[in-house]
Amino acid sequence: MHPSRSPLGRPASFRPEILGQTVLQLIGNLCFALFVVAVLVFTILAATYHPEDPLLHPSSSHLTSFLTSTSNATFRSDDVALKTGEDFLNSSSSSSNPVSDPVIQLSDLKEKENTESTSADSPDCDADGPINCADPEVFHLMMRGAIENFADIHFYRFGKPTRGDTDTSCDMAWRFRPKNAKRAGFYKDYRRFEIARSPTCTYSVSKIGDYHSGVNARKRKNKKNRGKGDPVGFELKKPTPSETPEALVVPVVGEAVNDNLPVVESETKFSVGKYLIYSGGGDRCKSMNHYLWSFLCSLGEAQYLNRTLVMDLSICLSSMYTSTKQDEEGKDFRFYFDFEHLRDSASVLDQRQFWQDWDLWQKKDKLSLHLVEDFHVTPMKLADVKDTLIMRKFGAVEPDNYWYRVCEGETEAVIQRPWHLLWKSRRLMDIVSGVASKMNWDFDSMHVVRGEKAKNTALWPNLAADTSPEALLATLRDKIDDGRHLYIATDEPDTSFFDPLKDKYTTHFLDDYKELWGENSEWYTETKNLNNGVPVEFDGYMRGEVDTEVFLRGKKQLETFNDLTGDCKDGINTCKTTS
């Protein structure tokens, strides 16, 4: 054996403790190298990363089911119409009837008529005089006529008749819901009844007018504060997890809308208030989904901080919804969403009015401003701020200047976006009700996606053929009964493409009902008044919203990528499989 080596063949000077130190040093060097590589990769990703649309990839499974249709509907939330608070209410109430009022039946009217006939004296007959619309006999006749003529709706409340435009006409309003309705909420209609009278003063209904024809029976909002705005207070509270949509009021479509801007009644009330405003950022002129995702983040933070949200009601409409294919500024929030419900359910102010009051009283009352220029400053860190106004100011670098970044990270578990406060415009929903009413709420619906997708055979190889008139007739044969009213929601610009379907069905399209938003419509007049006398275009987002909502009210609903074709909604090999 070599004298300088150990029995194991190692140098005699080798010691175990030296080996341990060497191994530890190597491990330390390796860990440091991995750390440096990780930092470098993270830096590169941070510099180049552009986040996907948060509405298409939300982090909460509950939000996923809310923002995307549970029935794999072809109406994509990113390019047509986003679900809002009443949709959330609908999904939460689908298993139970959200309406507590009893349905008025014909038998109820007969009991009332029998009671009154025995207790009231018959008036003298005046066959040539004007119809007394307040006569209980006329009232019950009109109610009975409405129930008998509109078999596909349930009546919940009738208003007292008022005189029409002639001596033989009466206007009457009622609140109703479609039978087997899948959507929560009430609808209101008011129609003109032509009353015939025999020489012996026996009454009968000779004609019932079209949807919303009984204008004299329409309930008007109180005109107090009209033009000045409605007063707003500051009795706020933070939302709690126990606040569920079931406990909230359901929308009533058809009532007169009062969406005056709120104002603060006095200097004292303004000065004791606490406010939050978001300023700047890159959210403008993005899709409506993006806008709402960010807006509801700001509203959620305002509720968490117990502050009034100062909001900009002027919207930039993305080119994806405009006829000019250019972004269009100056659109009013109230064109698209129910500001009256938002104003009555949360504390909000229009920023133009706010800055006028701020400039008037800021120096006098020593109102202070707390500026935040980093979205990483969480709402939790602002909870103890005493300043009158917290302003979040966003820079020019996207995506770090998106408002919704405030609600990411640890804030996501704290700030809940108050979706239940945001409803669709009741003026637009009134158009939906008008379309459905003109089909007597007795129709089936089909959504047909064609357009650019049908031309792209690489991603949708069968779509064009599967949505041809011949293929549609073959598909509909076993799904929709012959002779039915069929509403077709489609992006096909030439609706004559579907003419072959007319041999078996009575087809309807959105543009068949242009009078509901035309120059003589209530929608046209009211939106023009909101827009300082300038007519408002019925734009692409409005069309998509109305088309979608009418489709969803069909008794049977056929969807392109669920019922009409085997192609995947997002292109080849993207179909979602169900377990």
Give per-residue pLDDT as tens, 210-265: 999 999 998 776 544 444 455 554 433 334 444 444 445 788 999 999 999 999 98
Residues 124 and 28 placed together within one structural domain of the fold: no
pLDDT at 247: 44
Alpha carbons 246 and 230: distance in angstroms, whole number: 27
**430-480 confidence digits (pLDDT tens):** 999 999 999 999 999 999 999 889 999 999 999 999 999 999 999 999 999
What is the identity of the amino acid at 62? H
Residues 404 and 262 placed together within one structural domain of the fold: yes
Residue range 312-322: average pLDDT? Answer: 96
The domain boundary residue, chosen from 395, 421, 447: 421
In a domain, 112, yes or no: yes
Residue 448 contacts residue 556 (beta carbons within 8 Å):
no
Q: Please, what's the largest Cα pairwise distance for the chain?
A: 142
Q: Does 304 have pLDDT greater than 90?
A: yes
**38-88 confidence digits (pLDDT tens):** 666 555 554 444 444 333 333 333 333 334 333 322 223 444 556 788 877
The domain boundary residue, chosen from 406, 421, 436: 421
Residues 396 and 253 placed together within one structural domain of the fold: yes
Collapsing DSSP to helix, strand or coil, 276 comes out as: strand
Q: Which of 304, 272, 280, 499 is nearest to 382 (CA)?
A: 304
Alpha carbons 381 and 387: distance in angstroms, whole number: 14
Q: Which of 280, 238, 275, 423 is nearest to 350 (CA)?
A: 275
Residues 547 and 430 placed together within one structural domain of the fold: yes
Residue range 333-359: average pLDDT? Answer: 96
What is the identity of the amino acid at 500? P
Q: Which domain holds residue 323?
A: 238-421
Q: How many CB atoms lie within 10 A of CB 422?
A: 24
Residue 172 contacts residue 144 (beta carbons within 8 Å):
no
If one counts the domains in the chain, the total is 4
Encoded tokens for 445: 């619906």
Q: Which of 417, 397, 377, 136 is nearest to 296 (CA)?
A: 417
**545-568 confidence digits (pLDDT tens):** 999 999 999 999 999 998 999 999
Q: Helices in 215-285 by DSSP H: which ranges?
A: 267-272
Q: Per residue, what are the HEC states of 461-481?
A: CCHHHHCCHHHHHHHHCCCCC
In a domain, 232, yes or no: no
**79-134 confidence digits (pLDDT tens):** 455 678 887 776 544 444 455 568 998 888 875 555 444 433 445 667 778 999 99
pLDDT at 126: 73
Q: How many CB atoms lie within 10 A of CB 2?
A: 8
Q: Helices in 408-462 by DSSP H: which ranges?
A: 426-438, 451-455
Residue range 477-497: average pLDDT? Answer: 95
Alpha carbons 291 and 285: distance in angstroms, whole number: 8
In a domain, 230, yes or no: no
Alpha carbons 35 and 2: distance in angstroms, whole number: 45
Residue 449 contacts residue 490 (beta carbons within 8 Å):
yes
Collapsing DSSP to helix, strand or coil, 174 comes out as: strand
Residues 383 and 431 placed together within one structural domain of the fold: no
Residues 171 and 192 placed together within one structural domain of the fold: yes
Collapsing DSSP to helix, strand or coil, 543 comes out as: helix
Residues 416 and 289 placed together within one structural domain of the fold: yes
The domain boundary residue, chosen from 12, 30, 49: 49
List the beta bridge partners of residue 369: 389
Burial class (CB in 10 A: 0-12, 13-18, 19+), 578: exposed
In a domain, 502, yes or no: yes
Residues 474 and 354 placed together within one structural domain of the fold: no
Collapsing DSSP to helix, strand or coil, 374 comes out as: coil
Encoded tokens for 335: 């064109």
In a domain, 20, yes or no: yes
pLDDT at 560: 96
pLDDT, the chain, mean = 83
Residue 442 contacts residue 273 (beta carbons within 8 Å):
no
In a domain, 287, yes or no: yes
In a domain, 337, yes or no: yes
Residue range 375-387: average pLDDT? Answer: 97
pLDDT at 111: 59
Residue with tokens 């990483």: 376
pLDDT at 19: 56
Residue range 24-36: average pLDDT? Answer: 70
Residue 309 contacts residue 348 (beta carbons within 8 Å):
yes
Residues 345 and 484 placed together within one structural domain of the fold: no
Residue 155 contacts residue 104 (beta carbons within 8 Å):
yes
Encoded tokens for 375: 């979205």
- Scored b (16 or more CB within 10 A) or e, 175-193 reads bbbbeebebbbbbbbbbbb
In a domain, 79, yes or no: no
Percent of the chain with pLDDT over 90: 67
Residue 440 Ramachandran class (φ > 0 left, ψ -120 to 50 alpha, else beta): left
Alpha carbons 121 and 468: distance in angstroms, whole number: 66
Burial class (CB in 10 A: 0-12, 13-18, 19+), 383: exposed
Q: Please tell me the pTM assigned to this model.
A: 0.81
Residue 489 contacts residue 530 (beta carbons within 8 Å):
no
List the beta bridge partners of residue 508: 487
Residues 9 and 139 placed together within one structural domain of the fold: no
Residues 388 and 243 placed together within one structural domain of the fold: yes
Residues 453 and 556 placed together within one structural domain of the fold: yes
Please name the residues in contact with 411: beta carbons below 8 A apart, sequence gap of 6 or more: 378, 379, 380
